[in-house]
Amino acid sequence: MDLRKYAALIMGVMMVAGVAVSHAETDDDEEDDVVSNVPAQAQICAGCHGPDGNSLVPMFPKIAGQHPEYLEKQLKNIKENVRVSPVMAGIVATLNDEDMTILATHFAEQPARPTPSVSNGPGSIGEKIFQTGIPGAGVPACASCHGANGQGIAPGFPRLAGQHANYVTTQVQAFRDDQRKNDAAKMMRMVAAKMTDADIAAVADYIQGLK
Query: Is 187 annotated as a binding-site member?
Result: no
Neighbouring CB atoms inside 10 A of 198's CB total 9
Q: How many CB atoms lie within 10 A of CB 103?
A: 23
CB-based burial, 66-89: b 16+ in 10 Å, e otherwise: bbbebbbbbbbbbbeeebeeeebe
| Residue 45 assigned as binding residue | yes
Sign, CA dihedral 185-49-127-199, equals negative
SS3 assignment, position 126: helix
CB-neighbour burial class of residue 116 (10 A; exposed 0-12, middle 13-18, buried 19+)? exposed
48 is in an annotated binding site: yes
**Residue 195 known to bind ligand:** no
- Residue 14 known to bind ligand: no
Binding residues, as ranges, are 45, 48-49, 88, 142, 145-146, 188
Binding residues for heme c, as ranges, are 45, 48-49, 88, 142, 145-146, 188
